[in-house]
Structure 1
Amino acid sequence: MLSSLRRRLEQARTAADAGVTLIELVVAMTLSTIIAAMTLTLFLKVNDTTQTSTDRAINTGQARNILQAWTSYLHVADGPTYGNSSHRFEWITDSDVLFHADLANRSTSTPNAVGAPSTVWLRLTGRRLIEERFASGTTSPSVCRILADNVTASPLFKAYDTTYAAMTGQNLGSPMVTGGTGCTNLPASVTQTDLSAVSTLQNVARIEIDFTITDTRGKRAVPFFSAADVPTLVGATS
């Protein structure tokens, strides 16, 4: 009897060491697959969230720099002759504006002396925001910056008159030069020749800037907006 009991214990021990059954193996593989899928999904979600935060930070940084710079230029918009509102803006379209501004025109040797304003050309060309600045009377840019890509706007620029009514549909001139997607020289003259536009442009008191930047993956588009009042000039207007 003792021998029989030992035999049964040995058989039970052998059965225990025989491994897992097919059902147990299938269940284990299924659970492993589910856990792996959950882990991968969590990893992708965390990675996407991190990338989204990075994209938003980059786009916001770009937009902040653009809006700060462009509104600061508009705040010192001036005529090609200091203090004269005539031809302060040469044209304003939905995606293109050229104007003159008091940038880098202060004398370093004579107190309160000012030189001719610079010419500033801001535009959206081929989904790219471009800024060019020209010293008075020159045709090659002294500053040329490609500020952002993957940009859309409808419109980028919107003008308002002295009563802050939108100047939609009014004659704000046509560009005297076509801008490329990179640095573009000006022709010998960018003086607006449409006298009706010249007259209307003197009434511009505010410019709104409105655009959207899409991240490099093309997944998220973030809108940005600002506005700048242009100074009231007391010089001659004709």
Structure 2
Amino acid sequence: MLSRRWQAIRSRARGLGAEDRGVTLAELMVSMILTTILGTMAVLFFVGASHAGYKTVLTNQNSGDARLTLDSWTSMLRVAGWLDPSIQADRFEEITSTKIVFYANLNNRSTAVSGSFSAPAATTKVALMLRVSTPSTGVGQLIEVVFDADNTTVKSVRQLGFNAKASGGQPIFQPYSRIGSPLDLTQLGCLAGTTPTAGLCLQSGQPGSGMLDPTIGAGSLAVTSGAYRGNPALNVDKALNQIGSIAIAFTALDPSNTSSMDFSSLASVSSGFPS
């Protein structure tokens, strides 16, 4: 009797469906591995999408900064004025491939002249430059320095572009004569200490010129007088006073330096009086 009942129980056990048997250890391990792989793929997808979005935001911001920089610098150069208007002298003090120092009628741009002629306000000394932070690539920051009336005390320092360089090895600042001929920035018109150096520099010691060769330090935005002075052996004062326009060109890079956008403008230099 017991034997027949045991056989019946075994028979019913053999007749159970696959869905009643549970899962084996091998099936459980395969399931865990697949779940881990799918979870990892999902995390990587969301991280990649988030990184791409963040990179796009930074790239757009960098491009916007570059456009604002170009507009600001072009506007300033268009009102370049004479340090001494009576003799039309000393308008551009220094021009190299990455720096330009000049005097501008910033305080005269909104001055209304009516009736008899009124003398324009004093010009403002301005220095625009690329501070190279990565010499191997030439990438650096676009910086603007504006001086007080004494041309020595710094009024403001603005870091306008954070990841820029010269476009295709061309100078960021390219001066042209009044007849449209480019001035050669490779000529040794400057002295760095006692070493003749490429660029165009007025002879040092100009009355009222203030700080000479404004330079930005590597670790801060402090402005100090640099080493560049005019080279007496190659006096370029006349060429500087005959400049008719300045071309500005630079390349803005994204934070990872994988994509870039070129910016350029041509600023026609005014006569040095309010327009």
Q: TM-score, normalised by structure 1?
A: 0.78
| 1:137 is the counterpart of 2:135 | no
Equivalent of 2:216 in 173, 180, 190? 180
Deviates more, 1:99-108 or 1:126-135: 99-108
- For residue 119 of structure 1, what is the aligned residue in structure 2? 125
Counterpart of 2:247 in 1: which secondary structure?
Answer: strand
Query: Which of 60, 63, 66 is the matching residue for 2:63?
Result: 60
Residues 7 and 122 (structure 1), Cα distance of their counterparts in 2 relative to 1, 3 Å cut: same
Distance 1:199 1:110, change over 3 A: closer
> What is the alpha-carbon distance in structure 2 between the residues aligned to residue 2 and residue 164 of structure 1?
113
Alignment map for 1:125-204 (pairs within 5 Å): 125=131, 126=133, 127-153=140-166, 154=169, 155-168=171-184, 169-170=186-187, 171=189, 172-174=199-201, 176-177=212-213, 179-181=215-217, 182-184=221-223, 194=232, 196-204=235-243
Residue 82 of structure 2 contacts residue 272 of structure 2 at CA under 8 Å; is this kept in 1? Answer: no
- TM-score scaled by structure 2? 0.69
Alpha-carbon contact 1:90-1:191 (below 8 Å) kept: no
Q: Identity rate of aligned residues, in percent?
A: 28
State the Cα distance separating 1:56 from its structure 2 match. Answer: 0.9
Match for residue 30 of structure 1? 33
What amino acid is the match of 2:96? T
**Superposed displacement of residue 99, structure 1:** 0.7
Any unmatched runs of 5+ in structure 2? 134-139, 190-198, 203-211
Question: Which stretch shifts more, 69-78 or 191-200?
Answer: 191-200
CA–CA distance in structure 1, aligned partners of residues 56 and 271 of structure 2: 44
Residue 51 (structure 1) shift: 1.4
Letter in 1 for 2:39: A
Deviations 1:60-113 (A, max 9, x none): 121122111101001111111348653211111011110111101469797563
* CA deviation profile, 1:142-195 (whole Å, cap 9, x unmatched): 2221223343324322222334333233545238425023232569xx996757
In the alignment, is residue 91 of structure 1 matched against residue 91 of structure 2? no
Q: Which amino acid aligns with 1:86?
A: A
Residue 157 of structure 1 aligns to which amino acid in structure 2?
F
The one-letter code of the counterpart of 1:200 is A
What is the DSSP-based 3-state SS (H/G/I as helix, E as strand, rest coil) of the residue aligned with 1:65?
Answer: helix
Alpha-carbon distance, 1:119 to partner: 1.0
Write the deviation string for residues 185-213 of structure 1: whole angstroms up to 9, x where unpaired.
569xx996757311111232232222334
**Would the alpha carbon gap of residues 32 and 149 (structure 1) be closer, same or farther in structure 2, given more than 3 Å must change?**
same
Output the aligned Cα RMSD: 3.5
The aligned residue for residue 228 of structure 1 is 266
The amino acid across from 1:130 in the alignment is: I
Higher strand proportion, which one?
Answer: 2
Matched, 1:101 2:104: yes
In the alignment, is the contact (CA less than 8 A) between 1:79 and 1:117 conserved in 2? yes
Does the 8 Å contact 1:132/1:183 carry over to 2? no
Q: Say whether the 8 Å CA contact 2:79–2:104 is kept in structure 1.
A: yes
1:205 equivalent to 2:244? Answer: yes
Does 66-75 or 56-65 show the bigger shift? 56-65
1:115 Cα deviation after fit: 1.1
Give the aligned length. Answer: 232
